[in-house]
Amino acid sequence: MVHTPEVVVITGANAGIGRAAARAFAQRGAHVALLARDEQRLEETRREVEQRGGKAIAIPTDVADAAQVEAAADRTEQELGPIDIWVNNAMTTILAPLDQISPADYKRVTDVTYHGFVWGTMAALKRMRPRNRGTVVQVSSALAYRSIPLQSPYCGAKHAIKGFTDSVRTELLHDKSKVHITSLEMPGINTPQFEWCKTTLSCHPKPMGRYFQPEVAARAIVWAAHARRREVHVGSPSMLTIIAAKLAPGLFDRYLALTGIKGQQTNEPIPDGRPANLWQPVPGSYEAHGSFDEEAHKHSIGLWFSMYRNCYLPAASGLATWPAGGKGSEAGD
């Protein structure tokens, strides 16, 4: 039997989580369409995919433009074949208080981080639904449940992605479609976004709390693309954040008011002329990793528990009831 490589589309594929995910799919021999704005880094990622055993095409795309996304989907199917997996990952953000963000900049974050997911999902479902197969992966965030200070455009977009995805999921269920849509709630990840996001802060931005390397996110994406899980909480920080937001939202408000602003900054002053990628890609060979390798974790026990919960939860339940069950069995005999 001839194995047909799966065809994967990844947005935001030229750095950070998207680049790490492209490498991970390449190791499975996938054919990958790489979508992002920077042509140089797209070409670098394309070479990495093919060095790892996959096949790739680089498609310069601004996901805020629905027509560009649709054209990228068309080209993918023409050159690689029917799309099996579509990974919505592209994002941008601004780290600044609300009163220091212009309406145009706020709209731009929304157009990339939220509407980019909408246009990607539309393009994917347009092709997947008639074939009655395929998976859409939404690379979201724990911030879809619990907003933090200084990132109101990004948090608002992630909340919107959750609402949008839940709505689309119910439509697929109503139609008894075999197309699957899944969300991944990411913790902080060490990506170049902290080098190039637009900001009005005086000190260098950083991930907040416990954070991880992009390869952790990539493992979760590849797994979720095949597991048909509704939602995956990537790492214990995401799980704990979501739980705390549900159980004690007011207390969490006060905690973040005290810690959230300082917790997103280092003590390193931002140099003059720092580039920002909000409207144009920042040139240069940015990689999957950002500048916080020393503090970023390479593995996540929380992700492992999330992935394999169907194995250990029944076992734990059985152990909890074993003494009572044992006595009952003896009495019955």
Output the six-digit token pair for 141.
């965030």
Cβ atoms 25, 50 nearer than 8 A: no
Q: Of 114, 145, 154, 286, which one is the catalytic site residue?
A: 154
**Residue of 140, 141, 147, 238 marked active site:** 140
- The one-letter code for the residue type at 198 is K
**Residue of 145, 147, 158, 162 marked catalytic:** 158
- List Cβ neighbours of 331 (8 Å cut-off, separation of 6 or more): none
Helix (H) or strand (E) holding 265: strand 265-269
What b/e sequence results for 126-164 when a residue is b if at least 16 CB atoms lie within 10 Å of its CB, and e otherwise?
ebbbeeeebbbbbbbbbbbbbbbbbbbbbbbbbbbbbeb
User: Which 3 state secondary structure label does DSSP give 4?
Assistant: coil
Give catalytic status of residue 238 as yes or no.
no
Q: Is-catalytic flag, 154? A: yes
**Residues paired with residue 269 on neighbouring β-strands, in sequence order:** 203
Can you list the alpha helix ranges (DSSP code H) found in the chain? 16-26, 39-51, 66-79, 103-110, 116-131, 152-174, 193-196, 214-227, 236-247, 249-259, 301-307, 309-332
Tokens coding 143 = 């911030």
Quote the CA–CA distance of 82 and 128 in Å, as a whole number. Answer: 8
Active-site annotation holds for 206: no
The residues that are catalytic are 140, 154, 158
